[in-house]
Amino acid sequence: MIDATDLVVTPGFINCHMHISYAHAVRGIYPDDIGLKYLPTVFNLQQQMTDEEEYYTTLLGITELIKYGTTCFLDPGTTKFLDVCMEAYELAGSRIVIGSNVVDRENPLNIPVSYTEDAINEIERVIQTYNNKQNGMVTAWATPFSPAYCSENLLKAAKEIADKYDTGLTLHYNNSQEFIDKTVAQYGKLPTEVLADLNILGSNTLLAHALGLRQSELGLLSDNNTKITICPTAALKSGAGISHSSLVPEMLDLGITIGLGTDAANNSNLVETMRSMYLSAVIFKDGRNDVNMVPAETALEMATIKAATALGLQDSIGSLEVGKRADIVLFDTMRPEWGSLFNPVNNLIYSADGRSVKMVFINGRLVVDDYTPLFLDSTDLIRKVQIIGENLLSRTGLHFPSKWPITKDSD
Ligand SMILES: [Zn+2]
């Protein structure tokens, strides 16, 4: 029994797209005018990580997520040492969807290229090894990186494997004009029409970012019950034009399930789901000059029940109901940003953020109490990851000088 006087109780939040691997160790290194030029260095940093380094950076990512109320998250295949990181998931008690990033085409991102057959085998190996592990807390999906860097055969096989094991498939689906033009030149069709022809769409397919879509592609997504993740925190920072050009309101009108993500600690620079929730509720109102866009209640659903549906977990999480797993967040309303309290949904979306998360339960286990993660000493961990980041930068030679002469206290 918990005395929840002055606490607002919500389902645990769900982040449908974020990367926990290398990024927390080198958070904030990229200047904000670097654009997409940071991407090739990301995969170099990731390749340079040792298993021990990845374990601790992953743990810091999970700690940030859980401390601010996210109890379930999808890492779209970034993690290199899954065996070791499984220990981090278990320690934190997190609910997580994992996979292995594979591509079989040369790409400007420096993602290691596999032979198609090896990539297919890797997808199946990861699902066989990790799906439904840790009493069902870990789910494994097919995670080929994106249609831009994967062959038709790899994409088709990935979907077949996801179907065979009754699990999911996620793709980065951030369609640049260049990719759209290339696809139209090659197939005479838009990217989503090509995915439909290849039988890649479906209720267990989750397209992340969903930028660069045309109105004519949306019917295919809703007909196939394909799921969408948007990452407004990352899209806004990269100047993607999400507020006016993304078709989120139109997709919601068609009944397409949209969950929220954040992307990584080095492009959105955060993984807190609540910030994506706030942004979802405000940016489309501004971008379309219309206050009817994405109501607060819809934004809350996109971080809870719609997100659970996007991950195929709607029967066990995403709402507070008898029979569901106890993934629960308790917010402290005796903080200034919660007063005065008349409409808890409005206060949650527009006024509060993760700082007022006082207690978190995952699967019935108390993991945050009185604002403090119970599964580790987070101060120790933050210091450790700082050293990992310094070592990683010196090993890779990456350096981005500060634009101002900022001094640091020396010890
Ligand atoms: Zn991503």
Distance 208 CA to ligand 1 centre (A): 7
Beta carbons of 200 and 155 less than 8 angstroms apart: yes
Distance 103 CA to ligand 1 centre (A): 14
The pTM assigned to this predicted structure is 0.97
Distance 146 CA to ligand 1 centre (A): 10
Half-sphere exposure at residue 327, Cβ-oriented, CA atoms within 13 angstroms: 27
- Check whether 408 has a pLDDT greater than 80: no
Beta carbons of 330 and 358 less than 8 angstroms apart: yes
Region 85-95: mean pLDDT is: 96
What residue type is assigned to position 410 of the chain? S
Distance 235 CA to ligand 1 centre (A): 11
Q: What is the pLDDT of residues 348-404, one digit of tens each?
A: 999 999 999 999 999 999 999 999 999 999 999 999 999 999 999 999 999 888 888
Q: What is the pLDDT of residues 286-326, one digit of tens each?
A: 999 999 999 999 999 999 999 999 999 999 999 999 999 99
Distance 232 CA to ligand 1 centre (A): 12
CA dist., res. 146 & res. 177, Å (int): 15
Distance 264 CA to ligand 1 centre (A): 7
Region 182-203: mean pLDDT is: 97
Q: Closest Cα to residue 16, out of 223, 209, 243, 269?
A: 209
Torsion of CA 344, 347, 349, 351, to 10 degrees: -160
Distance 284 CA to ligand 1 centre (A): 22
Distance 369 CA to ligand 1 centre (A): 30
Instruction: Read off the tokens for 249.
Output: 């309101």
Distance 90 CA to ligand 1 centre (A): 23
pLDDT band at 409 (very low <50, low <70, confident <90, very high): low
Distance 19 CA to ligand 1 centre (A): 6
CATH of 7-396, one of 3.20.20.140, 3.40.50.620, 3.30.420.130, 1.20.120.420: 3.20.20.140
**Residue-wise DSSP of 166-198:** T--EEEEEE--HHHHHHHHHHHSS-HHHHHHHT
Distance 17 CA to ligand 1 centre (A): 6
* First CA to last CA distance, the chain: 46
238 Cβ contact list (under 8 Å, min separation 6):
35, 36, 267
Residues recorded for the chain: 411
pLDDT, residue 411, reads 52
Distance 370 CA to ligand 1 centre (A): 32
